């Protein structure tokens, strides 16, 4: 999925890579988190990162690659922070770390996430009358 200007295949290799694990508050630094846990978000997805980059007007593209430390974690996002002349694409975001913090702030507000929370809140609001009773197991 390509968003933003198409600069050709060779220049996309120079774009920065963001794996969802970089922004995951449930991971430790040793497991790959790159920003402070307080600023990170829980379980971000590539599509949420892509939508956040699009909102910030940063050219981006999803790639189906595995994270080296956890190869079951599929997907990464390539982002273009600088134009070919070295000027920033978005003057408000100059570094990869600034971008990751901005994305982590936007992901919890993502459209798909808010719908999930509303549906889970309505399903968990149903009263449950099951009580645990009986004998203890030996």
Residue extents of the structural domains in the chain:
12-112
Using CB atoms within 10 A of its CB, is residue 19 exposed (0-12), middle (13-18) or buried (19+)? buried
Q: Which CATH number fits domain 12-112: 3.30.565.10, 3.40.50.1820, 3.10.450.50, 3.30.56.30?
A: 3.30.56.30
CA pair distance 43, 107, nearest whole angstrom: 9
Q: How confident is the model at residue 7 (pLDDT cuts 50, 70, 90)?
A: very low
pLDDT of res. 4: 53
Quick one: tokens of 5? 């200007």
Q: What pLDDT is recorded for position 14? A: 87
The pLDDT, as a whole number, for residue 33 is: 92
Do residues 112 and 102 make contact, with C-beta atoms less than 8 angstroms apart?
no
pLDDT in tens, 70-96: 888 899 999 999 988 888 899 899 999
How many residues can be counted in the chain? 138
Tokens of 53: 């980059």
Task: Report how far residue 6's alpha carbon sits from residue 77's, in angstroms, rounded to the nearest whole number.
Answer: 15
pLDDT tens readout for residues 12-41: 888 999 999 999 999 999 999 999 999 999
């Amino acid at each position: 999925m390509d968003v933003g200007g198409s600069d050709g295949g060779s220049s996309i290799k120079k774009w920065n890579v963001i794996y969802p694990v970089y922004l995951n508050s449930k991971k430790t630094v040793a497991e790959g988190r790159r920003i402070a846990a307080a600023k990170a978000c829980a379980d971000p997805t590539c599509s949420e990162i892509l939508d956040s980059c699009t909102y910030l007007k940063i050219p981006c593209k999803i790639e189906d690659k595995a994270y080296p430390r956890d190869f079951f974690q599929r997907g990464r996002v390539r982002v273009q922070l600088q134009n070919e002349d070295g000027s920033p694409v978005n003057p408000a975001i100059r570094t990869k770390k600034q971008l990751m913090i901005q994305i982590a702030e936007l992901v919890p507000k993502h459209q798909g996430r808010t719908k999930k929370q509303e549906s889970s809140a309505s399903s968990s609001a149903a009263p449950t009358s099951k009580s645990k009773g009986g004998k203890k197991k030996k």
